[in-house]
Structure 1
Amino acid sequence: MQFGKVNNPQDIDFSIPQDHPDTLKVLKNSKNKDFKTFIGCAKWNKQDLKGFYPRGTKDELAYYSTQFNCIELNATFYKSPSKEQVRTWYDKTPAHFKFFPKLPNTISHFKRLVNTQQATEEFCDAVAHFEEKLGMAFLQLHDNFKPKDFESLKKYIENFPKVIPLAVEVRNAEWFADQKFTDEYYEVIKSNNITNILVDTAGRRDMMHMRLSTPTAFIRWVGANHPSDYNRLDEWVSRISQWKKEGLENLYFFVHQNVELESPLLSAYFIEKLNKALNLDIQIPKTLNSNNNGKQTTLL
Protein backbone atom coordinates (compact mmCIF):
# COMPACT_ATOMS: atom_id res chain seq x y z
CA MET A 1 0.00 0.00 0.00
CA GLN A 2 1.56 3.28 -1.13
CA PHE A 3 -0.81 5.60 0.76
CA GLY A 4 1.22 7.70 3.20
CA LYS A 5 4.56 6.44 1.88
CA VAL A 6 7.57 8.65 2.67
CA ASN A 7 11.22 8.54 1.67
CA ASN A 8 12.46 9.36 5.17
CA PRO A 9 10.73 7.01 7.65
CA GLN A 10 13.60 7.50 10.09
CA ASP A 11 12.43 11.10 10.60
CA ILE A 12 8.77 10.27 11.36
CA ASP A 13 7.37 10.31 14.88
CA PHE A 14 5.51 7.00 14.92
CA SER A 15 4.41 7.18 18.53
CA ILE A 16 0.73 6.40 19.08
CA PRO A 17 -1.20 9.49 20.24
CA GLN A 18 -3.31 9.51 23.38
CA ASP A 19 -6.81 8.15 22.98
CA HIS A 20 -9.62 10.54 22.26
CA PRO A 21 -11.88 10.78 25.37
CA ASP A 22 -14.77 9.27 23.39
CA THR A 23 -12.83 6.03 23.01
CA LEU A 24 -12.91 5.27 26.73
CA LYS A 25 -16.61 6.13 26.86
CA VAL A 26 -17.38 3.70 24.05
CA LEU A 27 -15.30 0.91 25.57
CA LYS A 28 -16.71 1.33 29.06
CA ASN A 29 -20.23 0.98 27.66
CA SER A 30 -19.33 -2.34 26.05
CA LYS A 31 -21.52 -5.22 27.21
CA ASN A 32 -19.80 -8.15 25.51
CA LYS A 33 -16.54 -9.24 27.15
CA ASP A 34 -15.83 -12.04 24.66
CA PHE A 35 -12.73 -10.59 22.98
CA LYS A 36 -12.20 -11.67 19.35
CA THR A 37 -9.03 -11.03 17.36
CA PHE A 38 -8.46 -11.24 13.62
CA ILE A 39 -5.08 -10.39 12.10
CA GLY A 40 -4.15 -10.71 8.46
CA CYS A 41 -2.80 -9.24 5.26
CA ALA A 42 -4.52 -7.33 2.48
CA LYS A 43 -3.87 -9.79 -0.34
CA TRP A 44 -3.21 -13.46 -0.87
CA ASN A 45 -1.65 -13.54 -4.35
CA LYS A 46 1.87 -14.88 -4.87
CA GLN A 47 3.03 -11.87 -6.84
CA ASP A 48 2.81 -9.61 -3.79
CA LEU A 49 3.66 -12.20 -1.13
CA LYS A 50 6.70 -13.67 -2.84
CA GLY A 51 8.31 -16.45 -0.85
CA PHE A 52 5.37 -16.92 1.51
CA TYR A 53 3.91 -19.92 -0.28
CA PRO A 54 5.60 -23.35 -0.24
CA ARG A 55 6.81 -24.54 -3.60
CA GLY A 56 4.05 -26.23 -5.51
CA THR A 57 1.16 -24.36 -3.86
CA LYS A 58 -1.75 -24.55 -6.30
CA ASP A 59 -4.44 -22.59 -4.49
CA GLU A 60 -3.16 -19.45 -2.78
CA LEU A 61 -6.31 -18.62 -0.80
CA ALA A 62 -6.70 -22.18 0.44
CA TYR A 63 -3.12 -22.12 1.75
CA TYR A 64 -3.26 -18.54 3.06
CA SER A 65 -6.35 -19.39 5.12
CA THR A 66 -4.46 -22.16 6.92
CA GLN A 67 -1.92 -19.60 8.11
CA PHE A 68 -4.06 -16.54 8.87
CA ASN A 69 -7.57 -16.20 10.30
CA CYS A 70 -8.70 -13.36 8.02
CA ILE A 71 -8.07 -11.31 4.90
CA GLU A 72 -8.66 -7.65 4.14
CA LEU A 73 -10.35 -8.31 0.84
CA ASN A 74 -9.16 -5.55 -1.49
CA ALA A 75 -10.09 -7.53 -4.60
CA THR A 76 -13.70 -6.43 -4.21
CA PHE A 77 -12.62 -2.78 -4.49
CA TYR A 78 -11.83 -3.27 -8.18
CA LYS A 79 -14.77 -5.51 -9.04
CA SER A 80 -17.92 -6.19 -7.09
CA PRO A 81 -18.09 -9.95 -6.54
CA SER A 82 -20.85 -12.23 -7.70
CA LYS A 83 -22.63 -14.54 -5.29
CA GLU A 84 -20.92 -17.45 -7.03
CA GLN A 85 -17.48 -15.93 -6.47
CA VAL A 86 -18.23 -15.36 -2.80
CA ARG A 87 -19.34 -18.97 -2.39
CA THR A 88 -16.13 -20.14 -4.06
CA TRP A 89 -14.04 -18.15 -1.60
CA TYR A 90 -16.20 -19.39 1.24
CA ASP A 91 -15.72 -23.03 0.27
CA LYS A 92 -11.93 -22.71 0.10
CA THR A 93 -11.49 -21.50 3.68
CA PRO A 94 -11.82 -23.10 7.13
CA ALA A 95 -14.73 -22.46 9.47
CA HIS A 96 -12.95 -19.89 11.65
CA PHE A 97 -11.81 -17.69 8.73
CA LYS A 98 -13.23 -14.18 8.18
CA PHE A 99 -13.42 -11.94 5.10
CA PHE A 100 -13.40 -8.13 5.29
CA PRO A 101 -14.46 -6.98 1.79
CA LYS A 102 -13.88 -3.41 0.62
CA LEU A 103 -16.78 -1.71 -1.13
CA PRO A 104 -16.21 -1.31 -4.89
CA ASN A 105 -14.59 1.86 -6.19
CA THR A 106 -17.55 2.38 -8.51
CA ILE A 107 -19.49 3.27 -5.36
CA SER A 108 -16.84 5.13 -3.36
CA HIS A 109 -14.64 6.79 -5.97
CA PHE A 110 -16.40 7.06 -9.32
CA LYS A 111 -19.98 7.74 -8.21
CA ARG A 112 -18.88 9.20 -4.86
CA LEU A 113 -21.83 7.57 -3.02
CA VAL A 114 -24.42 9.25 -5.27
CA ASN A 115 -27.05 7.11 -7.04
CA THR A 116 -25.42 3.95 -5.73
CA GLN A 117 -28.34 2.20 -4.07
CA GLN A 118 -28.54 -0.61 -6.63
CA ALA A 119 -24.78 -1.18 -6.69
CA THR A 120 -24.69 -1.21 -2.90
CA GLU A 121 -27.54 -3.68 -2.64
CA GLU A 122 -25.88 -5.98 -5.20
CA PHE A 123 -22.61 -5.86 -3.26
CA CYS A 124 -24.33 -6.55 0.04
CA ASP A 125 -26.41 -9.36 -1.43
CA ALA A 126 -23.23 -10.99 -2.68
CA VAL A 127 -21.08 -10.64 0.46
CA ALA A 128 -23.98 -11.86 2.60
CA HIS A 129 -23.10 -15.28 1.14
CA PHE A 130 -19.96 -15.24 3.27
CA GLU A 131 -22.49 -15.98 6.04
CA GLU A 132 -20.64 -16.54 9.35
CA LYS A 133 -17.32 -15.89 7.59
CA LEU A 134 -18.21 -12.24 6.93
CA GLY A 135 -16.20 -10.13 9.31
CA MET A 136 -17.04 -6.56 8.31
CA ALA A 137 -17.35 -4.66 5.03
CA PHE A 138 -15.49 -1.37 4.80
CA LEU A 139 -15.90 1.81 2.82
CA GLN A 140 -12.73 3.68 1.89
CA LEU A 141 -13.39 7.15 0.51
CA HIS A 142 -11.27 8.90 -2.09
CA ASP A 143 -8.55 11.27 -0.89
CA ASN A 144 -10.51 14.17 -2.41
CA PHE A 145 -13.80 13.25 -0.72
CA LYS A 146 -14.05 16.24 1.64
CA PRO A 147 -16.38 17.51 4.38
CA LYS A 148 -18.26 19.44 1.68
CA ASP A 149 -19.47 15.98 0.63
CA PHE A 150 -20.72 15.21 4.12
CA GLU A 151 -24.42 15.06 3.22
CA SER A 152 -23.74 12.36 0.63
CA LEU A 153 -21.83 10.34 3.21
CA LYS A 154 -24.48 10.85 5.87
CA LYS A 155 -27.27 9.72 3.56
CA TYR A 156 -25.27 6.74 2.38
CA ILE A 157 -24.49 5.56 5.91
CA GLU A 158 -28.07 5.99 7.08
CA ASN A 159 -29.37 3.94 4.13
CA PHE A 160 -26.70 1.25 4.19
CA PRO A 161 -28.20 -2.22 4.83
CA LYS A 162 -28.04 -2.76 8.59
CA VAL A 163 -27.54 -6.52 8.25
CA ILE A 164 -24.00 -5.96 6.91
CA PRO A 165 -21.54 -4.61 9.52
CA LEU A 166 -19.66 -1.62 8.14
CA ALA A 167 -16.51 0.38 8.84
CA VAL A 168 -15.60 3.68 7.17
CA GLU A 169 -12.27 5.32 6.36
CA VAL A 170 -12.18 9.01 5.48
CA ARG A 171 -8.84 10.17 4.09
CA ASN A 172 -8.94 13.84 3.19
CA ALA A 173 -7.01 15.93 5.73
CA GLU A 174 -9.89 18.39 6.12
CA TRP A 175 -11.88 15.78 8.07
CA PHE A 176 -9.24 15.93 10.80
CA ALA A 177 -8.20 19.59 10.60
CA ASP A 178 -11.51 21.13 11.71
CA GLN A 179 -13.08 19.88 14.95
CA LYS A 180 -16.56 20.75 13.68
CA PHE A 181 -16.23 18.42 10.70
CA THR A 182 -14.65 15.72 12.84
CA ASP A 183 -17.42 15.79 15.42
CA GLU A 184 -20.23 15.82 12.85
CA TYR A 185 -18.77 12.83 11.05
CA TYR A 186 -18.16 10.96 14.30
CA GLU A 187 -21.70 11.47 15.58
CA VAL A 188 -23.17 10.10 12.35
CA ILE A 189 -21.09 6.95 12.33
CA LYS A 190 -21.52 6.36 16.05
CA SER A 191 -25.30 6.77 15.94
CA ASN A 192 -25.45 4.27 13.06
CA ASN A 193 -23.12 1.75 14.74
CA ILE A 194 -20.43 2.23 12.09
CA THR A 195 -16.82 1.47 13.01
CA ASN A 196 -14.29 4.29 12.63
CA ILE A 197 -11.17 3.00 10.82
CA LEU A 198 -7.71 3.91 12.08
CA VAL A 199 -4.85 4.11 9.57
CA ASP A 200 -1.28 3.99 10.84
CA THR A 201 0.94 5.15 7.99
CA ALA A 202 4.06 7.29 7.89
CA GLY A 203 2.96 10.30 5.87
CA ARG A 204 -0.52 10.78 7.33
CA ARG A 205 -0.23 10.83 11.10
CA ASP A 206 -3.49 12.81 11.30
CA MET A 207 -5.33 9.56 10.54
CA MET A 208 -4.21 8.26 13.93
CA HIS A 209 -7.26 9.95 15.48
CA MET A 210 -7.55 7.22 18.16
CA ARG A 211 -11.30 7.73 18.30
CA LEU A 212 -13.31 4.51 18.37
CA SER A 213 -17.00 4.72 17.54
CA THR A 214 -17.82 1.11 18.47
CA PRO A 215 -16.11 -1.46 20.73
CA THR A 216 -14.32 -2.67 17.57
CA ALA A 217 -10.83 -1.50 16.59
CA PHE A 218 -10.40 -1.72 12.81
CA ILE A 219 -6.75 -0.87 12.18
CA ARG A 220 -5.04 -0.67 8.81
CA TRP A 221 -1.33 -0.62 9.62
CA VAL A 222 1.19 0.30 6.92
CA GLY A 223 4.82 -0.54 7.50
CA ALA A 224 7.61 1.57 6.07
CA ASN A 225 9.97 -1.32 5.22
CA HIS A 226 12.19 0.10 7.97
CA PRO A 227 13.55 -1.33 11.25
CA SER A 228 11.18 0.98 13.15
CA ASP A 229 8.27 -1.20 11.98
CA TYR A 230 8.88 -3.65 14.82
CA ASN A 231 8.85 -0.99 17.53
CA ARG A 232 5.65 0.40 16.07
CA LEU A 233 3.99 -3.00 16.35
CA ASP A 234 5.24 -3.36 19.93
CA GLU A 235 3.53 -0.09 20.80
CA TRP A 236 0.29 -1.31 19.27
CA VAL A 237 0.42 -4.42 21.44
CA SER A 238 0.54 -2.15 24.49
CA ARG A 239 -2.35 0.02 23.34
CA ILE A 240 -4.52 -2.95 22.41
CA SER A 241 -3.83 -4.52 25.80
CA GLN A 242 -5.08 -1.32 27.41
CA TRP A 243 -8.21 -1.25 25.23
CA LYS A 244 -9.00 -4.86 26.05
CA LYS A 245 -8.97 -4.05 29.77
CA GLU A 246 -11.30 -1.12 29.08
CA GLY A 247 -13.84 -3.22 27.16
CA LEU A 248 -12.65 -3.76 23.56
CA GLU A 249 -14.71 -6.52 21.96
CA ASN A 250 -13.11 -6.98 18.54
CA LEU A 251 -9.70 -6.34 17.04
CA TYR A 252 -9.38 -6.32 13.25
CA PHE A 253 -5.74 -5.60 12.40
CA PHE A 254 -4.45 -5.67 8.83
CA VAL A 255 -0.77 -5.41 7.97
CA HIS A 256 0.28 -3.63 4.79
CA GLN A 257 3.71 -2.74 3.45
CA ASN A 258 4.98 -0.46 0.73
CA VAL A 259 6.63 -3.67 -0.48
CA GLU A 260 4.00 -6.25 0.44
CA LEU A 261 6.26 -9.31 0.58
CA GLU A 262 7.20 -8.32 4.15
CA SER A 263 3.58 -8.31 5.34
CA PRO A 264 3.55 -11.97 6.46
CA LEU A 265 6.82 -11.42 8.32
CA LEU A 266 5.49 -8.51 10.32
CA SER A 267 2.11 -10.14 10.82
CA ALA A 268 3.78 -13.16 12.39
CA TYR A 269 5.86 -10.95 14.66
CA PHE A 270 2.78 -9.02 15.76
CA ILE A 271 0.72 -12.16 16.35
CA GLU A 272 3.44 -13.69 18.51
CA LYS A 273 3.75 -10.55 20.63
CA LEU A 274 -0.03 -10.16 21.01
CA ASN A 275 -0.44 -13.82 21.93
CA LYS A 276 2.03 -13.40 24.77
CA ALA A 277 0.60 -10.12 25.99
CA LEU A 278 -3.05 -11.21 26.02
CA ASN A 279 -2.67 -14.96 26.50
CA LEU A 280 -4.14 -15.71 23.08
CA ASP A 281 -3.50 -18.68 20.82
CA ILE A 282 -3.76 -17.16 17.35
CA GLN A 283 -1.79 -19.26 14.89
CA ILE A 284 1.56 -17.83 13.85
CA PRO A 285 2.23 -18.44 10.14
CA LYS A 286 4.44 -21.52 10.17
CA THR A 287 6.40 -20.76 6.99
CA LEU A 288 8.37 -18.01 8.75
CA ASN A 289 11.64 -18.19 10.66
CA SER A 290 12.77 -15.98 13.54
CA ASN A 291 16.15 -14.61 14.39
CA ASN A 292 17.57 -14.52 17.92
CA ASN A 293 15.70 -11.33 18.74
CA GLY A 294 12.34 -12.85 17.94
CA LYS A 295 11.89 -10.60 14.92
CA GLN A 296 10.71 -12.26 11.75
CA THR A 297 13.37 -11.87 9.10
CA THR A 298 13.44 -14.72 6.62
CA LEU A 299 10.84 -16.45 4.54
CA LEU A 300 11.46 -20.13 3.84
Structure 2
Amino acid sequence: MHENGRADTRSVPIFIGTMGWGYTDWCGPFYPPNTEGRDQIRLYARCFNAVEIDSTFYASPKPQVVEGWYQATPEHFVFCPKVPKQITHELHLASSSHKLVKEFIVTMKRLKEKLGPILFQMPPDFRRSELAKLEGTLPLLDDLATTHGVRFAIEFRHRSLEGRDVAELLRRHRVALAAVDYIILSPKIEITTDFLYVRLIGRHGAFSHHNRIQQDKSERLQKWAEAIQCAADKVEKIFIFCNNDYEGFSPATCNRMRRLLGQGETVFPVDYQRDLFA
Protein backbone atom coordinates (compact mmCIF):
# COMPACT_ATOMS: atom_id res chain seq x y z
CA MET A 1 0.00 0.00 0.00
CA HIS A 2 1.34 3.43 -0.92
CA GLU A 3 1.42 6.28 1.61
CA ASN A 4 -1.44 7.97 -0.25
CA GLY A 5 -3.72 5.02 0.52
CA ARG A 6 -3.62 3.56 -2.97
CA ALA A 7 -2.58 -0.02 -3.58
CA ASP A 8 0.15 -0.83 -6.07
CA THR A 9 -1.79 -2.15 -9.08
CA ARG A 10 1.38 -3.73 -10.43
CA SER A 11 1.01 -6.44 -7.78
CA VAL A 12 -2.52 -7.35 -8.96
CA PRO A 13 -3.18 -9.06 -12.32
CA ILE A 14 -4.76 -6.39 -14.47
CA PHE A 15 -6.43 -6.93 -17.83
CA ILE A 16 -7.08 -3.93 -20.06
CA GLY A 17 -8.72 -4.11 -23.46
CA THR A 18 -11.40 -2.85 -25.79
CA MET A 19 -15.03 -3.79 -26.34
CA GLY A 20 -14.75 -5.78 -29.54
CA TRP A 21 -11.87 -5.91 -32.00
CA GLY A 22 -13.35 -5.89 -35.52
CA TYR A 23 -13.72 -2.25 -36.54
CA THR A 24 -13.09 -1.00 -40.09
CA ASP A 25 -11.92 2.39 -38.78
CA TRP A 26 -9.07 0.69 -36.94
CA CYS A 27 -7.36 -0.37 -40.17
CA GLY A 28 -4.63 2.24 -40.49
CA PRO A 29 -4.37 3.72 -36.98
CA PHE A 30 -4.38 0.35 -35.15
CA TYR A 31 -4.21 -2.55 -37.60
CA PRO A 32 -2.09 -2.41 -40.75
CA PRO A 33 -4.19 -1.19 -43.72
CA ASN A 34 -6.27 -3.88 -45.43
CA THR A 35 -5.98 -6.30 -42.51
CA GLU A 36 -8.53 -9.06 -43.06
CA GLY A 37 -11.10 -9.81 -40.40
CA ARG A 38 -9.79 -13.29 -39.65
CA ASP A 39 -6.37 -11.83 -38.78
CA GLN A 40 -7.57 -9.08 -36.48
CA ILE A 41 -7.91 -11.00 -33.21
CA ARG A 42 -4.43 -12.46 -33.68
CA LEU A 43 -2.93 -8.98 -34.15
CA TYR A 44 -5.07 -7.50 -31.39
CA ALA A 45 -3.81 -10.10 -28.90
CA ARG A 46 -0.22 -9.02 -29.53
CA CYS A 47 -1.17 -5.63 -28.15
CA PHE A 48 -3.64 -6.16 -25.30
CA ASN A 49 -4.11 -9.03 -22.85
CA ALA A 50 -7.92 -9.08 -22.83
CA VAL A 51 -10.99 -8.23 -24.87
CA GLU A 52 -14.69 -7.98 -24.13
CA ILE A 53 -16.56 -9.91 -26.84
CA ASP A 54 -19.27 -7.59 -28.12
CA SER A 55 -20.53 -9.86 -30.91
CA THR A 56 -21.91 -12.45 -28.46
CA PHE A 57 -24.47 -9.86 -27.35
CA TYR A 58 -26.22 -10.26 -30.70
CA ALA A 59 -26.03 -14.05 -30.97
CA SER A 60 -24.23 -16.97 -29.42
CA PRO A 61 -21.35 -17.94 -31.73
CA LYS A 62 -20.84 -21.32 -33.34
CA PRO A 63 -18.47 -23.62 -31.42
CA GLN A 64 -15.90 -23.59 -34.22
CA VAL A 65 -15.77 -19.79 -34.09
CA VAL A 66 -14.99 -19.87 -30.37
CA GLU A 67 -12.33 -22.52 -30.94
CA GLY A 68 -10.81 -20.29 -33.62
CA TRP A 69 -10.53 -17.42 -31.14
CA TYR A 70 -8.78 -19.70 -28.70
CA GLN A 71 -6.28 -20.93 -31.28
CA ALA A 72 -5.53 -17.42 -32.60
CA THR A 73 -4.52 -15.94 -29.24
CA PRO A 74 -1.50 -16.47 -26.98
CA GLU A 75 -1.30 -18.07 -23.57
CA HIS A 76 -2.70 -15.92 -20.74
CA PHE A 77 -4.98 -13.92 -23.08
CA VAL A 78 -8.50 -13.46 -21.66
CA PHE A 79 -11.89 -13.21 -23.37
CA CYS A 80 -14.84 -11.70 -21.49
CA PRO A 81 -18.03 -12.52 -23.44
CA LYS A 82 -21.21 -10.52 -23.21
CA VAL A 83 -24.36 -12.59 -22.63
CA PRO A 84 -26.76 -12.60 -25.62
CA LYS A 85 -29.41 -9.90 -25.54
CA GLN A 86 -32.13 -12.54 -25.78
CA ILE A 87 -31.34 -13.34 -22.15
CA THR A 88 -30.96 -9.79 -20.84
CA HIS A 89 -32.99 -7.50 -23.09
CA GLU A 90 -35.78 -9.76 -24.34
CA LEU A 91 -36.38 -12.15 -21.45
CA HIS A 92 -35.14 -9.86 -18.65
CA LEU A 93 -33.62 -12.85 -16.77
CA ALA A 94 -36.97 -14.65 -16.61
CA SER A 95 -36.74 -18.30 -15.61
CA SER A 96 -37.18 -19.24 -19.27
CA SER A 97 -33.75 -17.66 -19.93
CA HIS A 98 -31.88 -20.00 -17.58
CA LYS A 99 -31.62 -22.77 -20.16
CA LEU A 100 -30.13 -20.26 -22.60
CA VAL A 101 -27.59 -19.17 -19.99
CA LYS A 102 -26.44 -22.76 -19.52
CA GLU A 103 -26.19 -23.31 -23.27
CA PHE A 104 -24.15 -20.13 -23.66
CA ILE A 105 -21.76 -21.25 -20.94
CA VAL A 106 -21.23 -24.59 -22.67
CA THR A 107 -20.30 -22.77 -25.87
CA MET A 108 -17.97 -20.26 -24.22
CA LYS A 109 -16.22 -22.94 -22.16
CA ARG A 110 -14.47 -23.84 -25.42
CA LEU A 111 -12.21 -20.90 -24.57
CA LYS A 112 -10.88 -23.07 -21.74
CA GLU A 113 -8.44 -21.21 -19.47
CA LYS A 114 -8.81 -18.05 -21.60
CA LEU A 115 -12.43 -17.55 -20.50
CA GLY A 116 -12.73 -14.58 -18.17
CA PRO A 117 -15.80 -13.16 -16.41
CA ILE A 118 -19.02 -13.26 -18.43
CA LEU A 119 -20.95 -9.99 -18.53
CA PHE A 120 -24.69 -9.55 -18.14
CA GLN A 121 -25.42 -6.07 -19.55
CA MET A 122 -28.95 -5.30 -18.43
CA PRO A 123 -31.13 -2.88 -20.43
CA PRO A 124 -32.22 0.56 -19.18
CA ASP A 125 -35.79 -0.69 -18.63
CA PHE A 126 -34.69 -3.43 -16.22
CA ARG A 127 -35.38 -1.82 -12.87
CA ARG A 128 -36.04 -2.56 -9.22
CA SER A 129 -39.58 -3.75 -9.93
CA GLU A 130 -38.00 -6.80 -11.62
CA LEU A 131 -35.62 -7.59 -8.77
CA ALA A 132 -37.27 -10.99 -8.27
CA LYS A 133 -35.94 -12.09 -11.67
CA LEU A 134 -32.42 -11.19 -10.60
CA GLU A 135 -32.91 -13.02 -7.31
CA GLY A 136 -34.06 -16.06 -9.28
CA THR A 137 -31.01 -15.98 -11.58
CA LEU A 138 -28.17 -15.37 -9.12
CA PRO A 139 -28.29 -18.85 -7.52
CA LEU A 140 -27.82 -20.31 -11.01
CA LEU A 141 -24.74 -18.14 -11.56
CA ASP A 142 -23.38 -19.11 -8.16
CA ASP A 143 -23.85 -22.77 -9.02
CA LEU A 144 -22.16 -22.34 -12.42
CA ALA A 145 -19.23 -20.64 -10.69
CA THR A 146 -18.87 -23.67 -8.43
CA THR A 147 -19.41 -26.42 -11.00
CA HIS A 148 -17.77 -24.85 -14.08
CA GLY A 149 -15.35 -22.31 -12.62
CA VAL A 150 -17.06 -19.52 -14.56
CA ARG A 151 -17.40 -16.05 -13.02
CA PHE A 152 -19.92 -13.34 -13.79
CA ALA A 153 -20.30 -9.56 -13.76
CA ILE A 154 -23.52 -7.62 -14.16
CA GLU A 155 -24.17 -4.07 -15.30
CA PHE A 156 -27.36 -2.20 -14.47
CA ARG A 157 -28.50 0.83 -16.43
CA HIS A 158 -31.31 2.00 -14.18
CA ARG A 159 -30.56 3.99 -11.04
CA SER A 160 -33.22 2.22 -9.00
CA LEU A 161 -30.77 -0.70 -8.77
CA GLU A 162 -27.93 1.33 -7.24
CA GLY A 163 -28.91 0.50 -3.64
CA ARG A 164 -26.78 -1.29 -1.07
CA ASP A 165 -29.26 -4.16 -0.90
CA VAL A 166 -28.64 -5.01 -4.56
CA ALA A 167 -24.88 -4.90 -4.03
CA GLU A 168 -25.23 -7.20 -1.03
CA LEU A 169 -27.36 -9.58 -3.08
CA LEU A 170 -24.60 -9.81 -5.68
CA ARG A 171 -22.00 -10.21 -2.94
CA ARG A 172 -23.79 -13.25 -1.53
CA HIS A 173 -23.63 -14.94 -4.92
CA ARG A 174 -20.07 -13.91 -5.88
CA VAL A 175 -21.13 -11.77 -8.84
CA ALA A 176 -19.27 -8.54 -9.65
CA LEU A 177 -21.19 -5.29 -9.93
CA ALA A 178 -19.66 -3.66 -13.01
CA ALA A 179 -18.32 -0.16 -12.40
CA VAL A 180 -19.51 1.89 -15.36
CA ASP A 181 -18.77 5.28 -16.89
CA TYR A 182 -21.98 5.86 -18.80
CA ILE A 183 -24.07 9.00 -19.29
CA ILE A 184 -26.91 8.15 -16.89
CA LEU A 185 -25.06 6.21 -14.19
CA SER A 186 -23.05 7.18 -11.13
CA PRO A 187 -19.36 6.44 -11.86
CA LYS A 188 -18.33 4.59 -8.72
CA ILE A 189 -16.75 1.33 -7.62
CA GLU A 190 -18.62 -1.11 -5.38
CA ILE A 191 -16.66 -4.28 -4.65
CA THR A 192 -18.97 -7.30 -4.46
CA THR A 193 -16.57 -10.19 -5.13
CA ASP A 194 -12.88 -11.01 -5.57
CA PHE A 195 -12.45 -9.25 -8.92
CA LEU A 196 -13.18 -5.77 -10.26
CA TYR A 197 -14.88 -5.20 -13.62
CA VAL A 198 -14.76 -1.65 -15.05
CA ARG A 199 -16.43 -0.47 -18.28
CA LEU A 200 -15.67 2.95 -19.79
CA ILE A 201 -18.53 3.34 -22.25
CA GLY A 202 -19.38 6.95 -23.07
CA ARG A 203 -22.40 8.04 -25.11
CA HIS A 204 -23.40 5.73 -27.95
CA GLY A 205 -23.13 7.37 -31.36
CA ALA A 206 -20.98 10.22 -30.05
CA PHE A 207 -18.50 9.93 -32.92
CA SER A 208 -19.03 9.18 -36.61
CA HIS A 209 -15.58 7.60 -36.92
CA HIS A 210 -13.45 5.67 -34.45
CA ASN A 211 -9.89 6.26 -35.60
CA ARG A 212 -8.49 8.85 -33.16
CA ILE A 213 -9.07 10.51 -29.79
CA GLN A 214 -11.80 13.10 -30.35
CA GLN A 215 -12.83 13.96 -26.80
CA ASP A 216 -10.03 14.20 -24.27
CA LYS A 217 -11.13 12.66 -20.97
CA SER A 218 -7.74 12.74 -19.27
CA GLU A 219 -9.09 14.13 -16.00
CA ARG A 220 -11.86 11.55 -15.85
CA LEU A 221 -9.42 8.73 -16.63
CA GLN A 222 -7.15 9.98 -13.86
CA LYS A 223 -10.03 9.78 -11.38
CA TRP A 224 -10.85 6.26 -12.52
CA ALA A 225 -7.21 5.24 -12.19
CA GLU A 226 -7.09 6.60 -8.64
CA ALA A 227 -10.31 4.78 -7.71
CA ILE A 228 -9.01 1.54 -9.20
CA GLN A 229 -5.74 1.90 -7.30
CA CYS A 230 -7.67 2.39 -4.06
CA ALA A 231 -9.65 -0.79 -4.73
CA ALA A 232 -6.72 -2.91 -5.88
CA ASP A 233 -5.88 -4.41 -2.48
CA LYS A 234 -9.48 -5.64 -2.09
CA VAL A 235 -9.54 -7.84 -5.22
CA GLU A 236 -7.48 -10.56 -6.86
CA LYS A 237 -7.91 -9.43 -10.48
CA ILE A 238 -8.91 -6.26 -12.31
CA PHE A 239 -10.62 -6.08 -15.71
CA ILE A 240 -10.98 -2.75 -17.55
CA PHE A 241 -12.66 -2.39 -20.94
CA CYS A 242 -12.90 0.77 -23.05
CA ASN A 243 -15.47 1.61 -25.71
CA ASN A 244 -14.90 3.56 -28.93
CA ASP A 245 -17.64 5.95 -27.80
CA TYR A 246 -15.67 6.98 -24.71
CA GLU A 247 -13.02 9.15 -26.40
CA GLY A 248 -13.38 8.17 -30.06
CA PHE A 249 -10.69 5.48 -30.34
CA SER A 250 -10.65 2.81 -27.65
CA PRO A 251 -7.14 1.39 -28.28
CA ALA A 252 -5.71 4.82 -27.43
CA THR A 253 -7.94 5.05 -24.34
CA CYS A 254 -6.61 1.66 -23.23
CA ASN A 255 -3.04 2.88 -23.60
CA ARG A 256 -3.86 5.95 -21.53
CA MET A 257 -5.28 3.78 -18.77
CA ARG A 258 -2.29 1.44 -18.95
CA ARG A 259 0.03 4.37 -18.44
CA LEU A 260 -1.98 5.76 -15.52
CA LEU A 261 -1.90 2.37 -13.79
CA GLY A 262 1.83 1.90 -14.29
CA GLN A 263 1.43 -0.77 -16.98
CA GLY A 264 3.22 1.14 -19.73
CA GLU A 265 1.86 1.81 -23.19
CA THR A 266 1.72 -1.03 -25.69
CA VAL A 267 2.73 -0.91 -29.36
CA PHE A 268 -0.15 -1.07 -31.84
CA PRO A 269 0.04 -3.78 -34.54
CA VAL A 270 0.45 -1.18 -37.30
CA ASP A 271 3.46 0.31 -35.49
CA TYR A 272 4.88 -3.13 -34.76
CA GLN A 273 4.84 -3.85 -38.49
CA ARG A 274 6.56 -0.53 -39.26
CA ASP A 275 9.29 -1.28 -36.71
CA LEU A 276 9.73 -4.78 -38.12
CA PHE A 277 10.48 -3.51 -41.60
CA ALA A 278 12.27 -0.29 -40.65
> Does the TM-score normalized on the shorter chain lie above 0.5?
yes
Please tell me whether residue 102 in structure 1 is matched to residue 82 in structure 2. yes
**Residues 144-171 of structure 1, C-alpha deviation per residue, up to 9 Å, x if partnerless?**
0111111111111111222210001111
107-116 or 227-236, which deviates more: 227-236
Q: TM-score when scaled to structure 2? A: 0.81
Please tell me whether the aligned partners of residues 46 and 60 of structure 1 are also in contact (alpha carbons under 8 angstroms).
Answer: no
Q: 1:79 aligns with which of 45, 48, 59?
A: 59
SS in 2 for 1:116: helix
Q: For residues 158-169 of structure 1, what are the structure 2 equivalents within 5 Å? A: 158-160=139-141, 161-162=144-145, 163=148, 164-169=150-155
Q: For residues 126-275 of structure 1, what are the structure 2 equivalents within 5 Å? A: 126-160=107-141, 161-162=144-145, 163=148, 164-176=150-162, 182-201=163-182, 203-206=183-186, 208-223=187-202, 227-244=215-232, 246-258=233-245, 262-275=249-262
Counterpart residue identity of residue 73, structure 1: I
Counterpart residue identity of residue 104, structure 1: P
113-122 or 253-262, which deviates more: 253-262
- Report deviation, 1:223: 4.7
219-228 or 167-176, which deviates more: 219-228
Show the counterpart of 1:65.
45
222-231 or 61-70, which deviates more: 222-231
Distance 1:72 1:243 in 2: 21
Counterpart residue identity of residue 243, structure 2: H
- Report deviation, 1:35: 1.4
Gaps of 5+ in 2: 204-212, 272-278
SS in 2 for 1:232: helix
State the percentage of identical aligned residues. Answer: 25
SS in 2 for 1:258: helix
- The number of residues matched between the two structures is 246
Gaps of 5+ in 1: 1-23, 177-181, 290-300
- Report deviation, 1:258: 2.0
Q: Which runs of 4+ in 1 moved over 6 A?
A: none
Please tell me whether the aligned partners of residues 57 and 63 of structure 1 are also in contact (alpha carbons under 8 angstroms).
Answer: no
Distance 2:35 2:109 in 1: 29
**Residues 239-287 of structure 1, C-alpha deviation per residue, up to 9 Å, x if partnerless?**
222222x333211001113277511112112212322xxxx4x661335
> Structure 1 pair 260/54, CA: closer, same or farther in 2 (3 Å)?
farther
Please tell me whether the aligned partners of residues 158 and 185 of structure 2 are also in contact (alpha carbons under 8 angstroms).
Answer: no
Show the counterpart of 1:21.
none
Show the counterpart of 1:35.
12
Q: 1:121 aligns with which of 102, 108, 112?
A: 102
> Structure 1 pair 257/286, CA: closer, same or farther in 2 (3 Å)?
closer
> Structure 1 pair 235/184, CA: closer, same or farther in 2 (3 Å)?
closer
Please tell me whether the aligned partners of residues 78 and 114 of structure 2 are also in contact (alpha carbons under 8 angstroms).
Answer: yes
